[in-house]
Chain A
Amino acid sequence: MSAIARPLLAQRFILFQALVVGPLRENPGRTALAVLAIALGVALGIAVHLVNASALNEFEVAARHLAGEADLVIRGPRDGFDQALYPKLARMPQVEAANPAVDLEVPLVDRPGSLRIIGFDPLQAARVQPSLVPEEYSMLSDLLDADAVLLSAAAAEWLDLTAGTELRVRVGTRPVRLKVIGVMAAGVYRQRLGLMDIASAQWRLAQLGRLNRIALRLKPGTDVQVFRQELAALLPAGVHAVTPDSEGEHRAALTRAYRLNLDMLALIALFTGAFLVFSSQVLALLRRRSQFALLRAMGVTRVGLAGYLVTEGAAVGVIGAALGVLAGYALAHAALLLVGADLGAGYFRSIVADLAVKPEVLCAFFALGVLFAVLGTLGPAWEAAHRAPTRALRAGDEEESLEHTRSPATGVGAIAAGLLLTLAPAVNGLPIAGYAAIALVLLGTVLLMPSFAAALFSRLPVPASAPSAVAIAQLKATPRRSAISIAAIVISFSFMVSMLIMVSSFRVSLEAWLGRMLPADLYLRAARSGETAFLTPEEQRRIESIPGVERVQFLRAQTVLLTPERPPVNLHARPIEAAAPDKILPLIAPPLVPPANAPPPVWISEVASDLHGLRQGDTLRLPLGGKSVLCTVAGIWRDYARQNGAIVIDRGIYIRATGDRLANDAAIWLRDGIDIDEAQETLRDALPPEAIVEITATREVRAASLRIFDRTFAITYALEIAAIVIGLFGVGASFGAQALARRREYGVLRHLGMTRQQIGAMLSQEGAVVAALGVAAGLAVGWVVGLILIHVINRQSFHWSMDLHMPWAPLAVLAALIVAAAALTAVWSGRAAMKQDVVRAVREDW
């Protein structure tokens, strides 16, 4: 084959090679960086999404499994309802079968945490939840023993127990010994669970006469919704009939904002990657403008030229997205294997999950990666295709190519639109408008950078030294080109700044909140988690009478179901002065003090206020002791601990309404001069030896809370660091591209006698000035985005408010590091471009 034939075989692809393959191959470093950025963004997005989706899927499967063939489930508060309700419902003509149950999280004795134990009627279960019935008949009869428990495979593995071993759980403050009679087959129920006979559970777990769950299977032809309405009239206050899917839906709703937040964080990495594609494309296309002018002169249409250039971006997107899908899948698999399904916020702690992959999810993220890469190319491609060929053929000033960026109107408009969007409410509990606002603010800032740079650089004084003078002159003459590097720094740094501000504000607010919520010296808890640990009145009296104790406040924690559409709300009964509730609660506004004849006051958390649409001054019906008690919302307080919402009621009112004198926690104030550590020992000695309680000094509780906070944000920090690294590489790439474009200039300077060191000094000054401007703009934009995160995203997602706190010291250190890194990068990029023979650079065609 002749030398002519070989290269011409694919002659129809000559343009493709000239405009797509060739440039990608000529700059392997830049191409690899763009591919990596897109791949990383896609991988992080897929990994985060898959882990969360898999956990949620497992949760929903588990909930459906437990519900079995039930059409409705009767659910009540944590302390349940009178078991007399069961025969009433079972005898209703519409009910085919009913399975009563006690469903509790029971704290463990030998390790932290709790185990879900369901006490059910195995004979009734066969008609409603057949999957829970043991296959072996002998196991079924063994289950009727008073201390028998059957474990799921996941529970047995977690607890390291087998058939015949002992499981110790906590009821009140005492250990209760249960005997493991067997382990369910692995596929029966995938989560951690223990099953007991209902009578045994009621007796051993202190639930005599109480149920908190009844699963109903209705007769064929019964209208479920109509029957539900009929039931509502029969059920006591606080007890509701819900569909079996509601538990899964509650968890999905509860975690939706959290999952979206993580998805958005992962997308930040993708956005930064797209910006990297954009900034490197702008500079590369500037450098190739005379090629494009030639092709336009030769007869390539605008659409044709733009099409090839967009294809170049799409090629990067396809390769990057493909790599990202593979990496994301592997990352998700590894995360589930090594870390589990919980990414830090605790929503899916203890969930055992396998990776659940839907091909359409992978395709969607793949498409996102390609789309972001194409979006990064669209602007530069359109601009290159519509540039007048005549100018470029004369090799005119590149700044003329960026003339259209002179007007700041579009940038200002985008920022204004973004700020307006911050006023929009959440959509289905999600801060969609908030995210759109952030995107618009960032886009507007990028669009404003050319005007901003032009205005600022024109005011820079010209130094006396030659390299510095050339550096400043370069910036003054090409502000719009420098704006591309500035924008890359602004994007990365503003993300960093906004997250730092948000996390710092949150942490400081949390610390202040802990100070208000934990005023005592010691805290005694019947158990850290679980629903069967409590302090009896006798134990409470004993604690109060311990020498050295000045006073004690006992708290009773329950849950109430205000409405079946929402998860249960936490109810805290504690001593509280109606006239001065802000002594113990961090109220967000001055409280309302209801008159003596008004319904008794309660104080609701911000979460409860937002979720249930309650405001100060409203009344609500609180289900207490099976009765509906009208109460007044006397105030709203800030609560970072309870994601379902919380209601505080005076303990005296609670006891009068329910007769429940049990307590879960005790806040203990010591007399002056009493040592905290010694007091802890005294407390322990004062209680019976078999009593199991947790006694913690306030400082330890605060430290543990902050550790949980930091762990919760660990994944956030990781995603942010990934975005920052990509952004900084982008800064390096844009400096590198500019350096390549200025090879001829360096050659001329070297001809004139400037040393390499002087050129290096010149570049470092340019880099430092550009970075300083980028950092300053990034600080301002980051502050705005931080405010949006605090007051819009967080508020609408999690219903928390927090006070703004600016972490000046870390910001200053980061800013200095960025400027130094940019200066070094500029020098390094210039050195790479100056490696060529300087003579050749001057006479080069391109």
Chain B
Amino acid sequence: MLIIREICKSFGGARPRELLRRLSLEVGRGEYVAIRGESGVGKSTLLNIVAGLDQPDSGSIVFDGAEVTNLDDNARTLMRRRKIGFVFQAFHLLPHLTVAQNVALPLGLNGIAAVETMQRVEAILEAINLANAAGVYPRELSGGEMQRVAIARALVHRPLLLLADEPTGNLDPDTAMQVLSLLREQVKSAGGSGILVTHSDRAAATADRVLALTANGLEAATP
């Protein structure tokens, strides 16, 4: 479903450096992959490139049959809207929307009808045990609850691919494990694929396959 071939990415500025060097990766449909690596090695950069938020200096990315590097900004935006879900370390819930409205946002962007939206939001909030918090604002939630809402938002529109960037970075260990379990369960039950980026071995162990991103590129690693 996702085929990355020999992408390279460098950054200029005060400290120019080459982050990704001839990196290749394939993720099959229904596969949940973890990419582990130290801070600053390029994990988030890789996710941004996969999502079309950034462009590689060279190489190709084929996602769901389309060459992402050939798409213009609007086309990549639409691709993200329909086929990709995001979970961030810092949650990034919109403060002026309730929990239900935050979760419903991707459906609204995709033009899903109101009745179906309601049903899907209800179902996914039930799945993450936050149905009672539908009308609550993010500032009233704990960190773990916020991340669960973020996961719900990332999956409610049934994306082909979920990208999770250090989703448990701001959580305590117990909450982190709950969130990781939920993440894997929701990815699998939705039938999509997922890429989890983390520096934690424990987090990586929840995936089907673990890869290590180093200065030399991607290598298989033990879960």
A residues in contact (CB < 8 Å) with B: 2-9, 11-12, 14-15, 17-18, 21-23, 25-26, 290-291, 294, 296-302, 388-390, 393-395, 845-846
Indicate which residue in B114, B134, B138 contacts A3 across the interface (CB closer than 8 Å). B134
Contact at B109–A298, with CB atoms within 8 Å?
Answer: yes
Indicate which residue in B44, B77, B135 contacts A300 across the interface (CB closer than 8 Å). B77
Chain B residues within 8 Å of chain A by Cβ, number: 45
Q: What distance in Å separates the Cβ of A693 from its nearest Cβ neighbour in chain B?
A: 76
Q: How far is the CA of A26 from the CA of B134 in the complex (A)?
A: 20
Contact at B106–A395, with CB atoms within 8 Å?
Answer: no
Knowing A299-B77, A394-B44, say if A8 contacts B104 (CB, 8 Å): yes
Knowing A8-B117, A395-B90, say if A17 contacts B96 (CB, 8 Å): yes
- In the complex, besides A17-B101, A298-B86, 13 extra interface pairs with C-beta distance below 8 angstroms are A2-B134, A3-B134, A8-B100, A8-B114, A11-B108, A14-B108, A15-B108, A17-B97, A21-B96, A22-B96, A23-B96, A291-B94, A297-B53
Contact at A7–B106, with CB atoms within 8 Å?
Answer: no
B180 within 8 A of A: no
Knowing A3-B135, A17-B101, A845-B90, say if A390 contacts B96 (CB, 8 Å): no
Indicate which residue in A4, A296, A390, A395 contacts B121 across the interface (CB closer than 8 Å). A4
B residues in contact (CB < 8 Å) with A: 44, 48, 51, 53-54, 73-74, 77-78, 80-82, 86, 88, 90-98, 100-101, 104-110, 114, 117-118, 121-122, 125, 131-132, 134-135, 138-139, 146
Which chain A positions have C-beta within 8 A of B78? 299
Contact at A299–B109, with CB atoms within 8 Å?
Answer: yes
Q: How far is the CA of A301 from the CA of B76 in the complex (A)?
A: 10
Q: How far is the CA of A291 from the CA of B88 in the complex (A)?
A: 12
Which chain B positions have C-beta within 8 A of A291? 92, 94-95
Nearest A-chain residue to B146, judged by Cβ: A845
Q: How far is the CA of A6 from the CA of B138 in the complex (A)?
A: 17
Contact at B121–A14, with CB atoms within 8 Å?
Answer: no
Q: How far is the CA of A822 from the CA of B56 in the complex (A)?
A: 47
Knowing A3-B135, A14-B101, A18-B96, say if A297 contacts B118 (CB, 8 Å): no
Which chain B positions have C-beta within 8 A of A22? 94-97
Indicate which residue in A2, A6, A299 contacts B81 across the interface (CB closer than 8 Å). A299
Q: What distance in Å separates the Cβ of B148 from its nearest Cβ neighbour in chain A?
A: 14
Q: How far is the CA of A23 from the CA of B77 in the complex (A)?
A: 24
Q: What distance in Å separates the Cβ of A828 from its nearest Cβ neighbour in chain B?
A: 25
Q: How far is the CA of A17 from the CA of B104 in the complex (A)?
A: 13
Knowing A298-B109, A390-B54, say if A5 contacts B118 (CB, 8 Å): yes
Indicate which residue in B82, B107, B108, B118 contacts A4 across the interface (CB closer than 8 Å). B118
Contact at A302–B108, with CB atoms within 8 Å?
Answer: no
Which chain B positions have C-beta within 8 A of A2? 122, 134
Which chain A positions have C-beta within 8 A of B135? 3-4, 6-7
Q: What distance in Å separates the Cβ of B151 from its nearest Cβ neighbour in chain A?
A: 14
Indicate which residue in A7, A296, A389 contacts B98 across the interface (CB closer than 8 Å). A7
Nearest B-chain residue to A15, judged by Cβ: B108
Contact at B95–A845, with CB atoms within 8 Å?
Answer: yes
Q: What distance in Å separates the Cβ of B159 from its nearest Cβ neighbour in chain A?
A: 10
Nearest A-chain residue to B114, judged by Cβ: A11
Q: Which 8 A-B pairs have the closest CB atoms?
A: A299-B81, A22-B96, A3-B134, A3-B135, A4-B134, A294-B92, A299-B80, A4-B100
Which chain B positions have C-beta within 8 A of A299? 77-78, 80-82, 106, 109-110
Q: What distance in Å separates the Cβ of A315 from its nearest Cβ neighbour in chain B?
A: 14
Q: How far is the CA of A296 from the CA of B81 in the complex (A)?
A: 9
Contact at A297–B80, with CB atoms within 8 Å?
Answer: yes
Contact at B118–A14, with CB atoms within 8 Å?
Answer: no
Contact at A18–B53, with CB atoms within 8 Å?
Answer: no
Q: How far is the CA of A22 from the CA of B88 in the complex (A)?
A: 23
Knowing A4-B122, A390-B53, A390-B54, say if A300 contacts B109 (CB, 8 Å): yes
Contact at B51–A11, with CB atoms within 8 Å?
Answer: no
Q: List 17 A-B contacts (CB under 8 A).
A: A4-B135, A6-B135, A11-B108, A14-B101, A15-B108, A17-B101, A18-B101, A26-B96, A290-B90, A294-B88, A294-B94, A297-B80, A298-B86, A298-B109, A388-B53, A390-B48, A845-B139
The interface centre, meaning the residue of A22, A294, A298 with most chain B CB atoms within 10 A of its CB, is A298
Nearest B-chain residue to A395, judged by Cβ: B90
Contact at B138–A845, with CB atoms within 8 Å?
Answer: yes
Q: What distance in Å separates the Cβ of B93 from its nearest Cβ neighbour in chain A?
A: 7
Nearest B-chain residue to A20, judged by Cβ: B96
Contact at B92–A845, with CB atoms within 8 Å?
Answer: yes
Q: How far is the CA of A319 from the CA of B222 in the complex (A)?
A: 62
Which chain B positions have C-beta within 8 A of A388? 53-54
Q: How far is the CA of A296 from the CA of B108 in the complex (A)?
A: 14
Q: What distance in Å separates the Cβ of A11 from its nearest Cβ neighbour in chain B?
A: 5
Which chain B positions have C-beta within 8 A of A389? 53
Contact at A301–B77, with CB atoms within 8 Å?
Answer: yes
Q: How far is the CA of A22 from the CA of B95 in the complex (A)?
A: 9
The interface centre, meaning the residue of A297, A394, A395 with most chain B CB atoms within 10 A of its CB, is A297
Knowing A7-B98, A8-B114, A846-B95, say if A301 contacts B105 (CB, 8 Å): no
Q: How far is the CA of A23 from the CA of B96 in the complex (A)?
A: 7
Q: How far is the CA of A390 from the CA of B43 in the complex (A)?
A: 13
Q: How far is the CA of A265 from the CA of B125 in the complex (A)?
A: 57
Q: How far is the CA of A297 from the CA of B101 in the complex (A)?
A: 17
Indicate which residue in A3, A17, A18, A302 contacts B100 across the interface (CB closer than 8 Å). A3
Contact at A9–B104, with CB atoms within 8 Å?
Answer: no
Which chain B positions have C-beta within 8 A of A302? 73, 77
Q: How far is the CA of A300 from the CA of B82 in the complex (A)?
A: 11
The interface centre, meaning the residue of A14, A21, A291 with most chain B CB atoms within 10 A of its CB, is A14
Nearest B-chain residue to A844, judged by Cβ: B139
Q: How far is the CA of A11 from the CA of B101 in the complex (A)?
A: 7
Contact at B74–A301, with CB atoms within 8 Å?
Answer: yes
Contact at B107–A11, with CB atoms within 8 Å?
Answer: yes
Knowing A294-B92, A296-B77, A845-B146, say if A11 contacts B109 (CB, 8 Å): no
Nearest A-chain residue to B73, judged by Cβ: A302
Q: What distance in Å separates the Cβ of B69 from its nearest Cβ neighbour in chain A?
A: 16
Contact at A393–B92, with CB atoms within 8 Å?
Answer: yes
Contact at B80–A18, with CB atoms within 8 Å?
Answer: no
Q: What distance in Å separates the Cβ of A473 from its nearest Cβ neighbour in chain B?
A: 19
Contact at B51–A297, with CB atoms within 8 Å?
Answer: yes
Q: How far is the CA of A7 from the CA of B122 in the complex (A)?
A: 12
Indicate which residue in A8, A296, A395, A845 contacts B91 across the interface (CB closer than 8 Å). A845
Q: What distance in Å separates the Cβ of A764 from its nearest Cβ neighbour in chain B?
A: 30
Nearest A-chain residue to B110, judged by Cβ: A299
Nearest B-chain residue to A23, judged by Cβ: B96
Q: How far is the CA of A12 from the CA of B132 in the complex (A)?
A: 23
Contact at B108–A12, with CB atoms within 8 Å?
Answer: yes
Nearest A-chain residue to B88, judged by Cβ: A393
Q: What distance in Å separates the Cβ of B113 from its nearest Cβ neighbour in chain A?
A: 9
Contact at A14–B97, with CB atoms within 8 Å?
Answer: yes
Contact at A297–B108, with CB atoms within 8 Å?
Answer: no
Which chain A positions have C-beta within 8 A of B95? 22, 26, 291, 845-846
Which chain A positions have C-beta within 8 A of B106? 298-299
Q: How far is the CA of A367 from the CA of B110 in the complex (A)?
A: 34
Which chain A positions have C-beta within 8 A of B94? 18, 22, 291, 294
Contact at B105–A7, with CB atoms within 8 Å?
Answer: no
Nearest A-chain residue to B105, judged by Cβ: A14
Q: How far is the CA of A291 from the CA of B98 in the complex (A)?
A: 15
Which chain A positions have C-beta within 8 A of B132? 3
Q: How far is the CA of A669 from the CA of B106 in the complex (A)?
A: 91
Q: How far is the CA of A359 from the CA of B111 in the complex (A)?
A: 41
Which chain B positions have C-beta within 8 A of A300? 77, 81, 109
Which chain B positions have C-beta within 8 A of A395? 90
Q: How far is the CA of A299 from the CA of B86 in the complex (A)?
A: 11
Which chain B positions have C-beta within 8 A of A8? 100-101, 104, 114, 117-118, 121
Q: What distance in Å separates the Cβ of B170 from its nearest Cβ neighbour in chain A?
A: 9
Q: What distance in Å separates the Cβ of A388 from its nearest Cβ neighbour in chain B?
A: 8
Q: What distance in Å separates the Cβ of A170 from its nearest Cβ neighbour in chain B?
A: 74
Which chain B positions have C-beta within 8 A of A23? 96
Q: How far is the CA of A5 from the CA of B120 in the complex (A)?
A: 11
Q: How far is the CA of A23 from the CA of B94 in the complex (A)?
A: 11
Q: What distance in Å separates the Cβ of A459 from its nearest Cβ neighbour in chain B?
A: 21
